[in-house]
Structure 1
Amino acid sequence: MRKICKCWLVGMMLLLFLMTGLSFPQSEEQVIFWVPVKDVPDLGMVDWGLASFVKRALREAEDAGAQAVILEIDTSGGWVDAMLFIKDAIISSSCPTVAFINHRAWSAGAFIALACETIVFAPDATMGAAEPRSGTPEEIDKPDPKTVSAIRAQIEALAEARGRDPLVFASMVDRNVEIDGLVKKGELLTLRASQALEYGAGDLIAANREELLSKLGLEGTVRELSPSWSENLARLVTNPVVVPILLTLALVGILMEILTPGFGVPGIVGLVSFSLFFGGRYLAGLAGWEPLIFFLAGATLLIVELFLPGFGIAGISGMGALALSIYLVLRETSILFWQEAVYQLFFYVALMGGVFLVLLAFLPQSPVWQRLGLKKEITGKVYQIEEKSSEPSVVGKAGIAKSMLRPVGIVEIEGKRWDAITEGEFISPGTKVRVEGVRGNTIVVKSEEGG
């Protein structure tokens, strides 16, 4: 019996060995990765979501031992910092890289194409116009010479590394470069396909994918990649148009929540907007822990402020922590232009101050504001003044603030609770107040303490 078991075990091991050995001669499938680097409607141009996608595609190509990675480029440009991130990822890739310029590789697109080992043009494709522009006020009409110098040095070094003429690519960035018969001083160079081949800025012209693969001698399965949902979300929420909207909604929502008791719709809108602002960058792997730590600290301090009388240290510290977290995120996604992050931060601080004044001046009278603000449950009956009866006997009477008035809240007069509003003054619970007048169905009160 033991001999039979031993023979059975030996036989099974031999069978497994033979089965494993049979698979050794099988050749690995040749794979060509096709990566679109394109402007997407509503999602933006070259941005951090695209940068995350390209880096992932290059990593997957390396893991798969790809025969080549072909980047199909069709873009008008985008963020400088995202462009440099993509350029570095391409340069450091161990896979052969090919840029197929299908229509245009302008601005950041020219950098990305130059980073590839081989550049192929579609017959109608163009490449160039890579002068850097920042979002700072001074550079809207005229670029900063220091920025131009830095980007020119980058593109010249990249051209040298790829064995191409640095002067040709420098003329795409710097208007002061002149090349006889190609570009005049004061102009930026943009090359057509035939010009690119003539001046060594391109290698081949191919009308479509099949012709490109044939001319490059590539045979194998083409695996076309596409951005994941998280990368598309990152592209959307890091879009230069979407970012101000998210931050505006976040700041307005937080301010409205501070000015009203309890927690309601404005607070939810603010937190969701902040979450999208930070979350998109984390999904793309673009933000460190520091902004998140300051954001959570700021949000915690603001929540504490909601339950403490007055707008004091907790509220101010919370707003400061939120501002710092916003700056750190803007700074991390603007590695070249730190001034741009400062300008954007100042803009949002000014916007926040303006919104704060508007809310204090106009929204307290709005019925919608009062419905949003008075969501906090208060025991006991709350009296309201009927619009048709002004209740003149209430005017001039003294009472006690039963909730925080920011500037809407609840006061108690002669044992009855009333909806109340101040003229922008914050009043803590327990403060003595006096009725100054009637506004619609709400009484207007003023603190009797502190003068």
Structure 2
Amino acid sequence: MQIIKAALVAAIGVVALALGPLGSAAEENGRLALIVTIDGAIGPASASYVKEALTTAAARRAEVVILKMNTPGGLNSSMREIIADVLGSSVPVVGYVAPSGAHAASAGTYILYATHIAAMAPGTNIGAATPVQIGGPLPGLPGGAPEKDGKEKKDEPKDAMTAKVTNDAVAFIRSLAELRNRNADWAEKAVREAATLSANGALQEKVIDLVARDPAELLRQIDGRVVEVAGGKTQRLATKNLVVEAVDPGWISQFLAVITDPNVAFILLMVGIYGLIFEFVSPGAVAPGVVGTICLLIGLYALNLLPINYAGLGLMLVGIALLAVEAFSPTVVVGLGGVVAFVLGALMLLRVEAPGYRLSWSVIAVVAAMFAGFVLVVLGALRRARNSPSRIGAQAMRGLPAEVLDWNETEGHVFTNGERWQARGADAFRPGERVEVANIVDLTLVVRRPDRPTAREVNADD
């Protein structure tokens, strides 16, 4: 063991020596810029990734963190986690919508407003920050921006919940805009009216600080700028000739990225239920129970991270229970009710259909069909198998044909089912005669002639 430890230490030392000059050059006086890339919907995995990256940046004394984004939006809870980490970061965070063709919509707009410096690449856009719970812009809520003539908008909100969600989102993004000295009025417009802007338009409206074609140009442009980091400390950026390094997500973030996909979480939940059903109907199989338990727990953990509707989850479980009842007591009506409850529950499972976080219709249909087929066919076959005559033991032997090998008065030997058996009977038989097994008592067959119904007398010997 000591030899192995010594070898590992030596190997690490060689790697450190090989990378020493680059590492020291990058980290000396914070001469390092880390790039964190969010490409896709914002969710628990993105929040975990950003948190890990900012912790790494602080530990390595990086000069800046470039948060490169191309996102349609995502979950409100994950967005707020990222914003909290950015606001609490001791390392300046530069929000950068790139590459060309990318966008920072919905949650991405809030995050860009929260960064210390906001930048966009040419050919990108920002906006459409209306909360997804609303499903569309709702201009004219009380407390909104006044019209050009100075009068307040007179339109009434559709309902109290819509007003609360909208006003909360407006207050949040305005607070971020005021913190970073950006255009708060346009930010409110992006929430209430789903307004959008191109990169140049955002620069003209003072929504962002600059437009840069690539990270190298971005670092040159922000050199010398003064930003305020966590704790109210000001920091002058020195970003020329920084060593740029991309931060890859850790295994936890990658794991979360997989399981928090609603379709993956849904499938894991179904695999878990299948596995437990197999284990219950075939006790001792072990593997289905182990795999099912693991998948079920992972699926439930993933659903816990997502905004699920517990009524939908309850409907799914009711549907599964009804299909199980249908398998053991066929009524058709119960089975149809189970399928309907399962599908409706799957559709209601996610409370908010944020971009990138909605169940696929095809996945729901396939899983529902497979589950219904499994329950109705497989469990139905198991029920019929349990109700069918026994295939082993005394019950299986009764009625089998046998050939007499030798016989002496009421005892002898017969051949049946590929084996030689000791036998007895009320009649005298000749070798080679065909008889029928009536019963088995203590490994001795009770035989009779096929045309004689002697069940009562042979059962009397039990």
TM-score if structure 2 supplies the norm length?
0.55
Select which of 270, 291, 299 maps to 2:292: 270
- Aligned residues: CA RMSD: 3.6
The alpha-carbon distance between structure 1 residues 345 and 221, as it changes in their structure 2 partners (threshold 3 A), is same
**Cα pair 2:71 2:104 within 8 Å, conserved:** yes
Q: CA deviation at 1:266?
A: 4.0
Larger CA Rg, structure 1 vs 2: 2
Aligned length: 286
Q: CA deviation at 1:170?
A: 1.6
**Cα pair 2:266 2:299 within 8 Å, conserved:** no
Q: Which residue does 1:250 correspond to in 2?
A: 272
Counterparts of 2:394 and 2:121, CA distance in 1: 74
Select which of 167, 172, 180 maps to 2:190: 172
**Identity across the alignment (%):** 26
Counterparts of 2:190 and 2:54, CA distance in 1: 27
**Cα pair 2:323 2:376 within 8 Å, conserved:** no
Select which of 187, 210, 220 maps to 2:216: 210
Counterparts of 2:170 and 2:394, CA distance in 1: 69
Q: Which residue does 1:101 correspond to in 2?
A: 97
Q: CA deviation at 1:161?
A: 1.6
**Cα pair 1:132 1:151 within 8 Å, conserved:** yes
Counterparts of 1:174 and 1:123, CA distance in 2: 26
Counterparts of 2:271 and 2:191, CA distance in 1: 37
Opposite residue 110 of structure 1, the aligned amino acid is: T
Q: Which residue does 2:316 correspond to in 1?
A: 348
Counterparts of 1:228 and 1:85, CA distance in 2: 17
TM-score if structure 1 supplies the norm length?
0.56
**Cα pair 1:101 1:121 within 8 Å, conserved:** yes
Q: CA deviation at 1:354?
A: 4.1
Q: CA deviation at 1:55?
A: 0.3
- The C-alpha deviation readout for 1:253-289, integer Å capped at 9, x for no partner, is 334433444445542342131243256x6xxxxxxxx
Q: CA deviation at 1:87?
A: 0.9
Q: CA deviation at 1:70?
A: 0.6
**Cα pair 2:46 2:253 within 8 Å, conserved:** yes
- The C-alpha deviation readout for 1:145-195, integer Å capped at 9, x for no partner, is 4322322222122212221222211222223xxxxxxxxxxxx10111111
Q: Which residue does 2:31 correspond to in 1?
A: 30
**Are residue 153 (structure 1) and residue 154 (structure 2) matched?**
no
For residues 310-349 of structure 1, the aligned pairs below 5 Å read: 329=304, 333-334=306-307, 340-349=308-317
The alpha-carbon distance between structure 1 residues 109 and 355, as it changes in their structure 2 partners (threshold 3 A), is farther
Counterparts of 2:177 and 2:169, CA distance in 1: 12
Query: SS of the counterpart of 1:241?
Result: helix
Q: Which residue does 2:46 correspond to in 1?
A: 50
For residues 375-390 of structure 1, the aligned pairs below 5 Å read: 381=393
The alpha-carbon distance between structure 1 residues 71 and 384, as it changes in their structure 2 partners (threshold 3 A), is farther
Select which of 239, 251, 263 maps to 1:241: 263
The alpha-carbon distance between structure 1 residues 228 and 261, as it changes in their structure 2 partners (threshold 3 A), is same
For residues 43-442 of structure 1, the aligned pairs below 5 Å read: 45-102=41-98, 103-134=102-133, 144-175=162-193, 188-217=194-223, 218=239, 219-264=241-286, 266-277=288-299, 329=304, 333-334=306-307, 340-360=308-328, 361=330, 363=375, 366=378, 370=382, 381=393
Counterparts of 1:384 and 1:46, CA distance in 2: 62
The alpha-carbon distance between structure 1 residues 144 and 28, as it changes in their structure 2 partners (threshold 3 A), is same
Counterparts of 2:108 and 2:250, CA distance in 1: 21
Query: SS of the counterpart of 1:50?
Result: helix
The alpha-carbon distance between structure 1 residues 344 and 144, as it changes in their structure 2 partners (threshold 3 A), is farther
The alpha-carbon distance between structure 1 residues 232 and 353, as it changes in their structure 2 partners (threshold 3 A), is same
Q: Which residue does 1:295 correspond to in 2?
A: none
- The C-alpha deviation readout for 1:231-254, integer Å capped at 9, x for no partner, is 111111011222222222223433
**Cα pair 1:248 1:348 within 8 Å, conserved:** no
Opposite residue 348 of structure 1, the aligned amino acid is: M
Counterparts of 1:258 and 1:159, CA distance in 2: 57
- The C-alpha deviation readout for 1:109-139, integer Å capped at 9, x for no partner, is 1111111011111001101112222499xxx
- The C-alpha deviation readout for 1:382-425, integer Å capped at 9, x for no partner, is 96699xx9xxxxxxxxxxxxxxxxxxxxxxxx889xxxxxxxxx
